[in-house]
C-alpha cells in the first residue's frame, strides 16, 4: 500500500556520477616535437608510424613561445628536440624546462655532435641524442625506449596516455600513472601531497548558460589554478569539474606546501569568471591527502583526497580538508547508505505514512502529514532520522522529494475516490529541493498530471529552509502558492526566523514545535510562549497547528488557547495509507469517532 513505481528520469532522478571511471583506452605515447619546420614533423611522423611497439600521438610545435605553452600545458611523455637554429631559443626552452622542473625525457635530434645548448640538455640528466644522419625507425625507437626507460621504467607500458582535450591537462588515467610514479619515487612519508579541487555547483553553469559556457569556465579555472601555483606542478583534470594537483617536497614537509598552494588557489578564484557575457563567481572545495605511509597506492591517495573533498564540500564552498583516517569509516558508511537509498528509490522501498491532523473545535480529521518511511529489506522499517540527512547531503532528497510529492498527490486522488475530497495532505520539503532549478515547474507538472486542485496539498518547510536560500526560496514559495499549494512553517520556535520576514511570505499555517507542546502543562514559560505564538499567528492570519500532542491535558490547554489543529500520538501515530483510511472511515462513518471523542473529555 502507498507505494508506486517511481519514474526517476522524469523527476531528475538520474543523478550522474561525477567521477569518471577509467576505461581502457588504446595505449599511446604522447610526444611533443619542437622544431622549426613541418618538414621535420612529417619526417618524424613517418618514422614513428613505421616503428613497431606502442602507438604515438605526435604534436608538433614551433620553436617559439608556443613551445613554452605546450611544454607547460599538456603532460607529454617525451619531448623531441628538432632543428632549432637560434640557440637563444633553445636555451630559453631548456631554462624553462629546468625552471618548471619538467622531468619529461628529451631527445635531441642533431646534425652533429651537440653544441653547448644540447650538451646542457644532456647534463639535465634526462636527455638523449640521435644524430640526424643515423635517423631511422630503428634508431629512433631505441632512443625513445632508452630515454623513457631512464626517466620511468614503465612508461612505454602505460595503459593510457591521453590528455584532456579541453584543458590540455592530463586526464585521470594519465594522472594515476604519474601519481603512481611519484609515489614510487617518494623517499620519505609526507613528501607527496595530492590536492583535489572540485568546482561547486558546476552543473548549474551548464544548465543556466549551456555546455559551451561550462567548457569555457573549466578552461579558465584550469588556467587560474596553473597560474596560481608558484612553480608548475603535476596537474590534471580528473573529473568533469575536478582538478588534481600533486605537490612534492623531498624533505617530507609537503603539508605546508599544500596549505600555501590552497591559499593561492582559493585567492585566485575569488575574482568572477567572464563566461557567456556574465561575470560569475564560483566556489571550490578542496580535499588533500598526503602519503603518510610510504606504501600508499595512487588509487588509495586519490580516494583519501576525494573523501576529504566531500567533507569540505559539506561546508558550503571555499573550504578545504586534510584527510584523516577516521574520515574513511564515517564516509564509507555514508557512501553505503547513499548507494542503498539510490537503489531503494528504484526498488520502491519507500512508503509514505500519514499522521492525522485534527480540527480541535470540530474534532474531525481535516488533514494529515505525510512522513517518509523506508521498508529496508534487512533493517526493517526505518524512520527519516536514519536517512533524510544523508539523502540531503548527497542530493538524493531531490528525486526522493519528488517521489513524496507524487505519492501524496496520488493518495489525495485515492482519498477523493473514497469520498474524502476535503482532506488535505501535507508533505515535508527540504531546503535542498529548492536548489533544484526545476523545482517549481516539476511540482506544477506533478499537480497537473494528477489533477490536484487548489488547497489540497500543503508543503511544510522549517524556519531554516525559509531563511536559508533567501530570495530564491521566497520567489519559489510565491510561485508554489500561486499553484494552489498551502505553505506551513514547521517546527516553529526552534529556529531563528524573523516575524518581519515570515509576514512577507505566503505562509498560511504555523506548526508549533513539539518541544513546546510537550511541556505546556508542566512549564509555565513554555505555556506563555505557546499562547504568544498562537496569538501572534492569528494576528498574521495564520492557522496554528500544535505538533506532538500526547496528553489530554495538553489538548485541553491548546483548546482553551484557541489553537486550530492538533497532531500527535494522543490521537494517532503516523500510519500507512490504509491506516489513514481506517481512521477516516471511522471518523466519517460514525461521525463521532472514538479517537475524536478522546480529544476533549
Classified as helix, coil or strand, 459 is: strand
Query: By CB under 6 A, which span of 48-56, 221-229, 241-249, 423-431 interacts with ligand C2E?
Result: 423-431
383/582 with CB nearer ligand C2E: 383
CB proximity list for 151: less than 8 A, separation 6 or greater: 103, 104, 105, 126
User: Residue 393 interacts with ligand C2E (CB under 6 A)?
Assistant: no
Question: Which listed option, ligand C2E, Mg ion, none, makes contact with residue 232 (CB within 5 to 8 Å by class)?
Answer: none
For ligand C2E, which stretch binds (CB under 6 A), given 6-14, 315-323, 425-433, 479-487? 425-433
Among 436, 460, 463, 564, binds ligand C2E (CB under 6 A): 460
Q: How far is the CB of 369 from Mg ion (least distance, A)?
A: 5
Q: Note whether 526 binds Mg ion by CB under 5 A.
A: no
Based on the shown chain and the rule CB under 6 A, indicate whether residue 2 belongs to the binding site for ligand C2E.
no
- Identify whether the C-beta of residue 397 lies closer than 8 Å to the C-beta of residue 11: no
In sign, the C-alpha dihedral spanning 162, 165, 167, 172 is negative
Residue 165 to residues 54, 75, 218, 573: CA-CA distances in angstroms? 21, 12, 12, 58
- 428 is a contact residue toward ligand C2E (CB under 6 A): yes
| CB of 168 or CB of 384, closer to ligand C2E | 384
Please give the Cα distance from 408 to 367 (Å, whole number).
12
List beta partners, residue 376.
380
- Residue of the chain from 189, 384, 395, 484 that contacts ligand C2E (CB under 6 A): 384
Please report how close the Cβ of residue 473 comes to ligand C2E at its closest, in angstroms: 14
Task: State which residue, 232 or 384, has the beta carbon closest to ligand C2E.
Answer: 384
Taking CA atoms, 220 is separated from 165, 215, 217, 234, 275, in Å, by 14, 9, 5, 18, 9
Q: Which one, 240 or 574, has the nearer CB to Mg ion?
A: 574
541: nearest Cα among 508, 571, 565: 508
How near is the Cβ of 209 to ligand C2E at its closest, in Å? 30
* Footprint of ligand C2E on 192-231 (CB under 6 A): none
Q: Which one of residues 77, 128, 458, 491 is an interface residue with Mg ion (CB under 5 A)?
A: 491
Among the candidate windows 182-190, 383-391, 469-477, 558-566, which touches ligand C2E by CB under 6 A?
383-391
Which of residues 8 and 189 has its CB atom nearest to ligand C2E in the complex? 8
234-239 and 242-248 strand pairing: antiparallel
Minimal distance, residue 514 CB to Mg ion, in Å: 7
Which range in 378-386, 410-418, 447-455, 469-477 contacts ligand C2E by CB under 6 A? Answer: 378-386
Contacts of Mg ion in 533-552 (CB under 5 A): 547
Interface stretch with ligand C2E, choices 55-63, 68-76, 379-387, 534-542 (CB under 6 A)? 379-387
- By CB under 6 A, the residues from 486 to 505 that bind ligand C2E are 490-491
Contact with Mg ion (CB under 5 A) among 75, 349, 490, 587: 490
**198-257: which residues touch Mg ion (CB under 5 A)?**
none
Q: Which of residues 128, 190, 460, 564 is near Mg ion by CB under 5 A?
A: 460
Q: How far is the CB of 465 from Mg ion (least distance, A)?
A: 11
Question: How many other β-carbons are positioned within 10 Å of the β-carbon of residue 45?
Answer: 16
Q: How far is the CB of 461 from Mg ion (least distance, A)?
A: 9
Among 104, 235, 372, 566, binds ligand C2E (CB under 6 A): 372
Burial class (CB in 10 A: 0-12, 13-18, 19+), 166: middle
Q: Do residues 568 and 358 touch, judged by C-beta distance below 8 A?
A: no
Binding site partner of 19, from ligand C2E, Mg ion, none, Cβ cut-off 5-8 A by kind:
none
Please choose which of Mg ion, ligand C2E, none residue 404 contacts, taking the beta carbon within 5 to 8 angstroms, the exact cut-off set by kind: ligand C2E
- Provide the Cα torsion 151, 154, 155, 161; round to 10°: -150
The DSSP code for 229 is S
Three-class HEC string of 343-400: HHHHCCCEEEEEEEEEECCCCCEEEEEEEEEEEECCCEEECHHHCHHHHHHCCCHHHH
Q: Which of 68, 141, 550, 588 binds ligand C2E (CB under 6 A)?
A: 550
Taking alpha carbons only, the member of 549, 193, 171 closest to residue 357 is 549
Nearer to Mg ion, 62 or 430 (CB): 430
Which of 408, 410, 399, 422 has the alpha carbon at shortest distance from 370?
Answer: 408
φ, ψ of residue 449 to 5 degrees: the values are -60, -35
Q: How far apart are CA 187 and CA 292, in angstroms?
A: 12
Indicate whether 569 belongs to the interface with ligand C2E (CB under 6 A). Answer: yes
Q: Which is nearer to ligand C2E, 427 or 480 (CB)?
A: 427
Distance (Å, whole) CA 372 – CA 239: 34
Question: Does position 355 bind ligand C2E by CB under 6 A?
Answer: yes
For residue 35, what is its C-alpha cell?
622544431
Q: How many CB atoms lie within 10 A of CB 126?
A: 18
Place of cell 577509467: 22
**Interacting residue with Mg ion among 428, 497, 565, 596 (CB under 5 A):** 428
C-alpha radius of gyration, the chain, whole number: 32
What is the separation of C-alpha 284 from the centre of its chain, rounded to a whole number of angstroms?
11
Q: Cell numbers of 535, please? A: 496569538
How far apart (Å, rounded) are the C-alpha atoms in residues 175 and 186?
16
Q: Verify binding: residue 356, ligand C2E, rule CB under 6 A.
A: no
User: Which cell numbers hold the place of 69?
Assistant: 605553452
- Closest separation between CB of residue 458 and ligand C2E, Å? 12
Angle between helices 298-313 and 172-185 (to 10 degrees): 110
Say how far apart CA 178 and CA 83 lie, in whole Å: 29
Compute the least distance from the CB of residue 280 to ligand C2E, in Å: 29
574 makes contact, choosing from ligand C2E, Mg ion, none, with CB < 5 to 8 Å by partner type, with: ligand C2E
Is 568 near ligand C2E (CB under 6 A)? yes
Examine residue 458 and tell whether it contacts Mg ion (CB under 5 A).
Answer: no
CB of 306 to Mg ion, least distance (A): 34
Is 388 one of the binding residues for ligand C2E (CB under 6 A)?
yes
Interacting residues toward ligand C2E by CB under 6 A:
355, 371-372, 383-385, 388, 397, 401, 404, 427-428, 430, 460, 490-491, 514, 547-548, 550, 568-569, 574
Under the rule (CB under 5 A), what is the footprint of Mg ion? 428, 460, 490-491, 547
Amino acid at each position: 500500500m502507498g507505494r508506486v513505481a517511481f519514474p526517476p528520469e522524469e523527476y531528475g532522478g538520474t543523478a550522474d556520477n561525477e567521477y569518471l571511471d577509467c576505461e581502457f583506452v588504446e595505449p599511446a605515447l604522447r610526444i611533443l616535437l619542437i622544431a622549426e619546420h613541418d618538414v621535420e614533423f612529417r619526417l618524424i611522423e613517418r618514422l614513428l608510424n613505421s616503428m613497431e611497439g606502442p602507438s604515438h600521438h605526435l604534436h608538433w610545435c614551433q620553436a617559439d613561445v608556443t613551445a613554452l605553452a605546450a611544454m607547460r600545458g599538456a603532460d607529454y611523455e617525451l619531448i623531441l628536440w628538432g632543428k632549432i637554429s637560434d640557440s637563444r631559443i633553445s636555451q630559453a626552452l631548456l631554462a624553462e624546462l629546468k625552471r618548471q622542473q619538467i622531468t619529461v625525457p628529451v631527445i635531441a635530434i642533431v646534425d652533429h655532435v651537440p653544441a653547448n645548448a644540447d650538451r646542457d640538455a644532456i647534463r639535465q640528466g634526462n636527455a638523449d641524442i640521435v644524430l640526424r644522419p643515423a635517423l631511422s625507425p630503428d634508431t629512433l625507437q631505441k632512443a625513445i625506449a632508452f630515454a623513457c626507460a631512464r626517466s620511468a621504467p614503465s612508461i612505454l607500458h602505460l595503459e593510457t596516455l591521453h590528455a584532456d582535450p579541453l584543458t590540455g591537462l592530463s586526464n585521470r588515467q594519465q594522472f594515476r600513472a604519474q601519481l603512481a610514479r611519484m609515489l614510487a619515487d617518494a623517499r620519505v612519508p609526507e613528501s607527496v601531497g595530492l590536492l583535489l579541487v572540485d568546482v561547486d555547483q558546476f552543473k548549474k553553469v551548464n544548465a543556466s548558460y549551456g555546455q559551451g559556457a561550462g567548457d569555457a569556465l573549466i578552461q579558465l579555472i584550469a588556467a587560474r589554478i596553473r597560474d596560481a601555483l608558484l612553480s608548475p606542478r603535476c596537474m590534471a583534470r580528473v573529473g568533469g569539474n575536478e582538478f588534481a594537483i600533486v605537490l612534492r617536497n623531498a624533505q617530507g614537509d609537503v603539508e605546508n606546501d599544500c596549505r600555501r598552494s590552497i591559499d593561492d588557489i582559493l585567492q585566485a578564484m575569488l575574482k568572477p569568471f567572464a563566461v557567456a557575457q556574465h561575470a560569475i563567481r564560483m566556489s571550490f572545495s578542496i580535499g588533500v591527502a598526503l602519503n603518510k605511509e610510504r606504501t600508499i597506492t595512487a588509487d588509495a591517495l586519490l580516494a583519501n583526497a576525494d573523501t576529504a573533498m566531500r567533507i569540505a564540500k559539506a561546508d558550503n564552498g571555499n573550504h578545504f580538508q586534510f584527510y584523516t583516517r577516521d574520515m574513511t569509516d564515517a564516509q564509507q558508511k555514508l557512501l553505503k547508505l547513499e548507494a542503498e537509498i539510490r537503489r531503494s528509490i528504484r526498488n520502491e522501498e519507500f512508503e509514505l505514512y500519514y499522521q492525522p491532523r485534527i480540527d480541535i473545535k470540530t474534532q474531525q480529521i481535516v488533514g494529515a502529514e505525510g512522513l517518509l518511511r523506508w521498508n529496508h529489506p534487512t533493517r526493517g522499517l526505518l524512520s527519516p532520522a536514519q536517512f533524510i540527512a544523508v539523502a540531503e547531503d548527497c542530493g538524493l532528497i531531490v528525486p526522493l522529494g519528488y517521489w513524496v510529492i507524487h505519492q501524496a498527490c496520488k493518495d489525495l486522488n485515492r482519498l477523493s475516490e473514497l469520498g474524502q475530497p476535503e482532506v488535505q495532505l501535507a508533505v515535508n520539503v527540504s531546503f535542498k529541493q529548492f536548489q533544484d532549478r526545476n523545482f517549481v515547474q516539476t511540482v506544477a507538472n506533478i499537480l497537473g498530471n494528477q489533477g490536484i486542485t487548489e488547497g489540497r496539498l500543503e508543503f511544510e518547510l522549517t524556519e531554516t529552509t525559509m531563511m536559508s536560500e533567501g530570495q530564491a526560496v521566497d520567489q519559489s514559495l510565491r510561485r508554489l502558492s500561486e499553484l494552489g499549494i498551502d505553505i506551513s512553517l514547521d517546527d516553529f520556535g526552534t529556529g531563528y526566523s524573523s516575524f518581519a520576514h515570515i509576514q512577507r511570505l505566503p505562509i498560511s499555517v504555523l506548526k508549533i514545535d513539539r518541544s513546546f507542546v510537550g511541556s505546556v502543562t508542566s512549564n509555565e514559560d513554555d505555556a506563555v510562549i505557546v499562547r504568544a505564538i498562537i496569538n501572534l499567528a492569528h494576528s498574521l492570519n495564520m492557522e496554528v497547528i500544535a505538533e506532538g500532542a500526547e496528553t489530554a491535558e495538553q489538548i485541553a490547554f491548546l483548546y482553551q488557547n484557541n489553537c486550530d489543529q492538533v497532531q500527535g500520538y494522543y490521537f494517532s501515530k503516523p500510519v500507512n495509507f490504509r491506516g489513514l483510511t481506517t481512521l477516516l472511515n471511522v471518523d466519517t462513518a460514525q461521525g463521532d469517532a472514538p479517537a475524536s471523542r478522546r480529544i476533549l473529555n
